[in-house]
Amino acid sequence: MDRTRRRSRGRPRPPDEGRFTPTTHQATPTPEAVAALPRLLSADNFRDLAGTGDGYAAAGGRLRRGVLFRSNRLELDADDLATMATFGLTAIHDLRQPNEVARHPNVEIRGARWHHHPVPGIPESEVSSLMTAAQTYQAMLVNYQTFVTDPACRAGFASLLRTIARTDGPQLFHCAAGKDRTGWAAVLLHHIAGVDREVMLEDYLLTDTYAVTSRQATLDSILENLGSERVPAYEPAFSCDSRYLDVAYEAADDSYGGLDGYLTRGLELDDADLEAIRTRFVHSSPASA
């Protein structure tokens, strides 16, 4: 669960008057590694941001695979570390808070420089007070809203995108579960590239398919340490829900007139950085040429 978050004043209301009603629905990797992109057991939410096959459709073409990867934290076993080395990563972008990094440090990946872009999460004091699924669902809605409204969150996402734009070679970004902070960063990168919003949602929801093992391990830990009654209370924090993204979109609309305004005025990204991301991430397809 994302933690240590400053609060915003506005509190989005979940559907049905607060009832819990989820709406889920230069160095280059080897061609063989990109084509196969095996599942990693010790980082089960690792995947290519471009999707599979020919890559997601984007403005003017398709997303180029092997350029940007997303993941949960990188506590890799020896086999997965060897696999990760085949992707030729030049940069690892970590969105976690310092206390999260200290508790669960990444393994070192040769050739990849570590960049830290901390984004706050739900305060630990509030996490401990969540006793029902409805309370956790509400906290998650606020969590996503503050990705837009909280200055510390905006600083972290701005630093991430600016560094990606100015760094050559394949890169990977992640948080703890690879779902919330990573999920919002993925939305922003997809939007910059011109990916359709429905495709962005489908990619976001894939975490529920990929991260089954790590999600269950977390829930098992809650069961062992906090008791069986707390497991259902915390479950909304470990699943994807389209409403989570909706409140972030709504906050961007209210504050900046949409995602474009959020990127340029909220995150203060310039045209050169946005174009650098598009140029690196999108290649023209025969249909669009």
Q: What is the pLDDT of residue 285?
A: 63
Q: Are the CB atoms for 136 and 19 separated by under 8 Å? A: no
Q: What is the pLDDT of residue 229?
A: 82
- Low-confidence stretches of the chain (pLDDT beneath 50): 2-9, 13-35, 287-289
| C-alpha to C-alpha distance for 215 and 224, rounded to whole angstroms | 14
pLDDT for 4 equals 38
**How high is the pLDDT of residue 274?**
98
Active site residue 175: yes
Catalytic residue among 175, 211, 237, 263: 175
